[in-house]
Amino acid sequence: MKHCYKCSYENIIVRPLEAGDIESLRQWRNDPANTKFLKQIPYITPEMQKSWYERYLDDASELQFAICFKDSGELIGSCALYDPGVSDDTENYRQEPKGLTFKDVADVRVDSDDAGSWSAEFGKFMIGAGDAHGKHAGVSAVKAIAEIAFHNMGLEKLVLHVFCDHLAAVKVYQQAGFEIADEHIADNGAPEFLMTMCR
């Protein structure tokens, strides 16, 4: 979904994903070094990537972000907020079924004093540029997204899923403020953490 959310934290700025970013994302997603812990998909052609981006612009349930170094503007990665819902603070983190949109979140929060505890999922997170590794970029990017989610969008909770053996990612998420809420088995049979961060 086209949006205007932007935030900087320390050395990083997150901004809306633009058409000029998607070729870098395609190359990173096709690099096996970047995708060990991501959903395995076939090789992405330029045409497939362009089609994905056009569909994304019409999808009001997803907000894509570019992650850049603040000083140079260099694109180093991407992430997303998606599948908004209402948190119920139990082992099931949403009461509402999928199908809600970020427009629904905005409308309800504006029109109601009792809007519920709105949540969204954080994910599709990748620092793809090799020169960005080891520079605290991941933690800063997650903190910038949390700032957008909680202070600009009025969400109350973020959730994410991460494989238990993806130790580097778990460490980044914990340093950014996420906590492990549950452990379960993912669709591929691997153990996975549900992690949450509250406003």
pLDDT tens for 61-108 read 999 999 999 999 999 999 999 999 886 654 555 545 567 899 888 776
Distance (Å, whole) CA 146 – CA 176: 9
Q: Is 63 a member of any domain?
A: yes
Residue 95 confidence (pLDDT): 47
Of the candidates 13, 15, 17, the residue with the CA atom closest to the CA atom of residue 26 = 17
Residue 113 reports pLDDT greater than 70: no
Q: What is the number of structural domains in the chain? A: 1
Mean predicted confidence (pLDDT) in 25-33: 94
* 3-class SS string, the chain: CCCCCCEEECCEEEEECCHHHHHHHHHHHCCHHHCCCCCCCCCCCHHHHHHHHHHHHCCCCEEEEEEEECCCCCEEEEEEEEEEEEECCCCCCCCCCECECHHHHHHHHHHCCCCCEEEEEEEEEEECCHHHCCCCHHHHHHHHHHHHHHHHCCCCEEEEEEECCCHHHHHHHHHHCCEEEEEEECCCCCEEEEEEEEC
Query: What pLDDT, on a 0 to 100 scale, did the predictor assign at position 33?
Result: 87
pLDDT-above-70 percentage for the chain: 89
Residues facing residue 45 across a β-bridge: none
Tell me which of 46 and 107 has the higher pLDDT.
46
pTM of the model: 0.91
CATH of the domain at 81: 3.40.630.30
What confidence tier does 13 reach under pLDDT thresholds 50, 70, 90?
very high
Residue at 1 is within a domain: no
> For residues 112 and 18, what is the distance between their CA atoms, to the nearest angstrom?
33
Structure tokens that stand for 151 in this block:
């202070």
What is the rounded average pLDDT of the residues 139-146? 98
Query: In 10 A of CB 140, how many CB atoms?
Result: 23
Q: Is residue 163 part of a domain?
A: yes
In a domain, residue 13? The reply is yes
In this structure, is residue 2 part of a structural domain?
A: no
Identify whether the C-beta of residue 21 lies closer than 8 Å to the C-beta of residue 74.
Answer: no
What number is the average pLDDT over the span 149-161? Answer: 94
Range of the structural domain that residue 122 is part of: 7-198
- For residue 86, what pLDDT is reported? 81
Residue 138 has pLDDT above 60, yes or no: yes
